[in-house]
């Protein structure tokens, strides 16, 4: 058995602060046409793929800040992307800043959508693991104010029957947390798609920051392997408004192997023909959850948010 | 700040079926003396370190099977190891098959203990994620009958104040499951020690089994990184009674970096001087659990054992 789907990771180089959504959408469409020429059925774009990574600046609440968000999707600027995708018969994943009105209140989310080859939105995800800070940190060239500009997502980690398989989404920092993949895998996810913007000065400690590319792949490869799922992670990268962000967008098999990887920090498409049935051998051996998991011992994972005392501590 | 501890991973080559515990203990003591000469304060031995990996054979319940288990620890055969460790002032971790009488019933566990530099047992762990099968699988040269010979551990994933830090234990297949590390990290674990016996014909699929070394490191490196903890994993390895088992015993930093690794499939000691405070930069940034985890979205991890329906499924 084999269920093949050809997937493209459509990496973006930097987007300047002044670059319009129209200009970005042209870049997205150029990548989409390349993807079509290479037989892709699904294209994965980055997180916050329509604008520069604005959480690097302190911006007061108000019109200047709100201009970075999309009140609806598609909208006038992005409609050409939806139209082109439908014309080519290619589905896509894309991230953007969402301004939502719910229960009469305005909310801000870091959001992604999955769009079918018919141009219709299949599902929406709102980023749960927001990195960074609420307040600007002293002494940093670039801030990381996602916790200021977004609320944690309120849609959980859903999965959808799509593209001949079961597909889940997440965003950027979510990929570092094993809970992300696990909750989707427990719903049968066979493919997890995600975008990221990862500045490589996250901690300010050179010994740590120098490992940014390694950590990016380590987390995604472990997520793929430990959950028997394909993972496609796509970067917005390069030196964007003075902040250098990592690339190495990757398509990762359920074996944890990287089967396609970008090597530039520019707009670049990498593709792979992915057999969704490749996960079977892992699901039926190492990671046959129903046979091997022991959830009665996992309670702390949901009972605690942070580190707490040892359950059974004995002094040495 | 730095809290250094010098740790040795004391890998074992194969143990023949007919090799006595006394002979194995001599090998363990030889490694312990090397460790002392290299300044180790803690030595990590493999899983089931006193005997051959007997779950590869179908053995009927009774005296022949029971002979592979230790009814008490220390015992006459292992007392020389405890004595030598105390004399050298070195603590150790070791795995063995445990025959326990609890509530008037006999139980069989795949167990490890942590022993202090004074020769006293600090804590005990019983393997929770048992791999393999209850019934022999047709067409396999070597069986993997851990599910037949052991009950899942009933002690959870405890941690102990020991060796100047917070130490947790697990065994072999536990290392592939992100829940293992997470439950310990939520109790403050700074060092996770484990032993393994990993035949590299686990699935019978060459494309999978050929990745055994990669998967071994991937799971431990991700566990270390995602939980800001040191991980020391020690193999029993080499061709043991016809079954080839992987080596590459490793000491892994909270960065996920392998800082020491064995390169033979024989008795081999590798050491590293580990700063337990190295975890701080990770715990205070990427993996500041109290700031970043969102347990309200992790419920399925404990609510489900196996894969179930999507919580929020929408047909494409």
Tell me what the mean pLDDT of segment A50-79 comes to.
Answer: 97
> Is residue B303 pLDDT above 70, yes or no?
yes
- What was the pLDDT predicted at B314? 47
Task: Tell me if A258 sits within 8 A of A272, measured CB to CB.
Answer: no
Residue A284: pLDDT above 90? yes
- A147 has catalytic annotation: no
User: Which strands form B91-102's sheet, in the order they lie side by side?
Assistant: B121-126, B105-115, B91-102, B42-44, B4-11, B268-275
What are the C-alpha distances in Å from A62 to residues A59, A149, B96?
9, 12, 64
Residue B22: alpha-carbon gap to chain centroid: 22
Q: A161-187: per-residue pLDDT in tens?
A: 999 999 999 999 999 999 999 999 999
What is the average pLDDT across B116-135?
97
Q: Which residue of B has its CA nearest to A134?
A: B291
For residues A9-37, give the mean pLDDT. 98
C-beta atoms of A208 and B285 within 8 A: yes
| Per-residue model confidence (pLDDT) at position B140 | 87
Distance CA A92, CA A113 (A): 8
Give the H or E element holding residue A34.
helix A21-37
- The pLDDT assigned to A139 comes to 87
For residue B212, what are its two tokens?
């055994």
Chain B nearest-CA residue for A297: B156
Question: Which residues in chain A have their CB less than 8 angstroms from residue B300's CB?
Answer: 182-183, 186-187
User: Hey, are the CB atoms on A218 and B219 less than 8 Å from each other?
Assistant: no
Sign of CA dihedral B309, B313, B314, B316: negative
Closest CA to A171 of A218, A222, A117, A113: A113
Whole-number pLDDT of residue A313: 56
| Stretch A276-298: mean pLDDT | 97
Q: Determine contact: A206 vs chain B, CB below 8 A.
A: no
Would you place residue B313 in the very low, low, confident or very high pLDDT band (cuts 50, 70, 90)?
low
DSSP element (H, E) containing B87: helix B79-88
Query: How confident is the model over B215-244, as a mean pLDDT?
Result: 98
* CB proximity A275 to B under 8 Å: no
**Taking CA B256 as the corner, what is the angle to CA A8 and CA B223, rounded to the nearest 5 degrees?**
85
The alpha carbon torsion through A208, A209, A210, A212 (nearest 10 deg) reads 100
pLDDT, mean of residues A248-276? 98
pLDDT in tens, A133-168: 999 999 888 999 999 999 999 999 999 999 999 999
Q: How confident is the model at residue A314 (pLDDT cuts 50, 70, 90)?
A: very low
Q: Where are the strands (E) in chain B, listed by range?
A: 4-11, 42-44, 91-102, 105-115, 121-126, 159-162, 165-171, 191-197, 230-236, 238-240, 243-245, 250-252, 258-261, 268-275
Residue B4 has pLDDT above 70, yes or no: yes
Active-site choice (A40, A84, A98, A172): A172
% of chain B at pLDDT higher than 90: 94
Condensed to tens digits (0 to 9), the pLDDT of residues B68-114 reads 999 999 999 999 999 999 999 999 999 999 999 999 999 999 999 99
3-state secondary structure of A232: strand
Average pLDDT in chain B: 96
Closest CA to B192 of B155, B228, B153, B146: B228
Instruction: Show the tokens assigned to B76.
Output: 């006459």
**Is A213 near chain B, with CB under 8 Å?**
no
Contacts of residue B179 in chain A, CB cutoff 8 Å? 178, 182, 293, 297-298, 301
Residue A127: active-site member: yes
Distance CA B113, CA B93 (A): 6
Q: Quick one: pLDDT at residue A92?
A: 98
Read off the DSSP letter of residue A181: H
Contact predicate A47/A175, CB 8 Å: no
Q: Verify whether the Cβ–Cβ distance A304 to B294 is below 8 Å.
A: no
Q: Whole-prediction pTM value?
A: 0.97
The beta-carbon neighbor of A218 closest among B131, B177, B225 is: B225
- Contact of A283 with B129, CB cutoff 8 Å: no
Predicted pLDDT of residue B312: 78
Q: What pLDDT shows up at residue A315?
A: 42
Query: How many CB pairs (< 8 A) connect A and B?
Result: 265
The answer, yes or no, to whether the previous bond of B74 is cis (omega within 30 of 0) is yes
Instruction: Centre a 10 Å sphere on the Cβ of residue A292 and count the other Cβ atoms it contains.
Output: 21
Please identify which of the residues A40, A41, A47, A237 carries the catalytic annotation. Answer: A47
Smallest CA–CA separation between A19 and chain B, in Å?
30
Residues of B marked as catalytic = 47, 127, 172
Q: Which of B202, B295, B306 sits opposite A304 (nearest CB)?
A: B295
Asked if the Cβ–Cβ distance from A183 to B300 is below 8 Å, we say yes
Q: Kindly identify which residue of chain B lies nearest to residue A307, measuring between CA atoms.
A: B186
- Residue A2 confidence (pLDDT): 87
Name every chain B residue with its beta carbon within 8 A of the beta carbon of A208: 255, 281-282, 285
Q: Nearest-CA distance from A31 to chain B in Å?
A: 24
- What phi, psi does A259 have (nearest 5°)? -105, -10
- Name the residue with tokens 């004995």: A314
How far is B200 from A217, CA to CA, in rounded Å? 24
Mean pLDDT of A56-77: 96
Q: Does residue A265 have a pLDDT over 90?
A: yes
Shortest CB distance from B310 goes to which of A158, A255, A289? Answer: A158
Read off the tokens for B97.
């098959």
C-alpha to C-alpha distance for A302 and A293, rounded to whole angstroms: 16
Mean pLDDT of A296-302: 98
* Window 35-54 of B, Cβ < 8 Å to A: none
CB-based contact A99:A141 (threshold 8 Å): no
Residue of B225, B292, B311 lying closest to A131 (CB–CB)? B292
At residue A266 the predicted structure's pLDDT band, cuts being 50, 70 and 90, is: very high
Nearest partner of A183 among B43, B145, B179, judged by Cα = B179
pLDDT at residue B316, rounded to an integer:
39
Res A248 pLDDT > 90 = yes
Contact across the interface for B129 and A287, Cβ inside 8 Å: no
Residue range B20-77, pLDDT digits in tens: 999 999 999 999 999 999 999 999 999 999 999 999 999 999 999 999 999 999 999 9
State the nearest Cα–Cα gap between B204 and chain A, in angstroms.
10
Q: Does residue A100 sit in helix, strand or coil?
A: strand
Tell whether B186 lies on the interface with A, counting CB pairs under 8 A. yes
ipTM higher than threshold 0.90: yes
Query: Cβ contacts of residue A244 below 8 Å, gap of 6+?
Result: A199, A200, A201, A238
């Amino acid at each position: 058995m084999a269920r093949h789907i050809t997937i493209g990771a459509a990496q973006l180089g930097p987007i300047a602060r002044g670059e319009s959504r129209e200009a970005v959408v042209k870049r997205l469409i150029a990548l989409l046409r390349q993807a079509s020429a290479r037989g892709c059925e699904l294209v994965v774009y980055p997180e916050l793929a329509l604008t520069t990574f604005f959480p690097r600046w302190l911006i007061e609440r108000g019109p200047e800040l709100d201009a970075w968000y999309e009140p609806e999707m598609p909208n006038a600027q992005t409609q050409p992307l939806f139209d082109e995708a439908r014309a080519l018969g290619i589905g896509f994943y894309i991230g953007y800043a969402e301004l939502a009105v719910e229960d009469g209140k305005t909310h801000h989310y870091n959001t992604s959508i999955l769009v079918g080859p018919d141009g219709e939105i299949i599902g929406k995800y709102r980023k749960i693991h927001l990195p960074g800070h609420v307040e600007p940190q002293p002494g940093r060239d670039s801030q990381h104010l996602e916790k200021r500009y977004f609320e944690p997502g309120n849609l959980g980690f859903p999965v959808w029957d799509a593209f001949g398989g079961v597909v889940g989404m997440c965003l950027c920092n979510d990929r570092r947390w094993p809970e992300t993949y696990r909750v989707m895998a427990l719903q049968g996810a066979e493919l997890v798609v995600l975008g990221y913007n990862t500045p490589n000065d996250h901690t300010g400690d050179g010994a740590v920051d120098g490992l940014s590319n390694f950590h990016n792949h380590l987390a995604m490869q472990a997520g793929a392997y430990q959950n028997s799922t394909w993972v496609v992670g796509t970067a917005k990268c390069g030196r964007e408004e003075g902040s250098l962000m990592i690339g190495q967008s990757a398509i990762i098999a359920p074996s944890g192997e990287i089967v396609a990887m970008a090597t530039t920090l520019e707009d670049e498409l990498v593709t792979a023909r992915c057999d969704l049935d490749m996960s079977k051998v892992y699901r039926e051996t190492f990671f046959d959850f129903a046979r091997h998991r022991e959830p009665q011992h996992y309670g702390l994972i949901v009972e605690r948010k942070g580190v707490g005392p040892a359950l059974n501590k004995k002094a040495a």
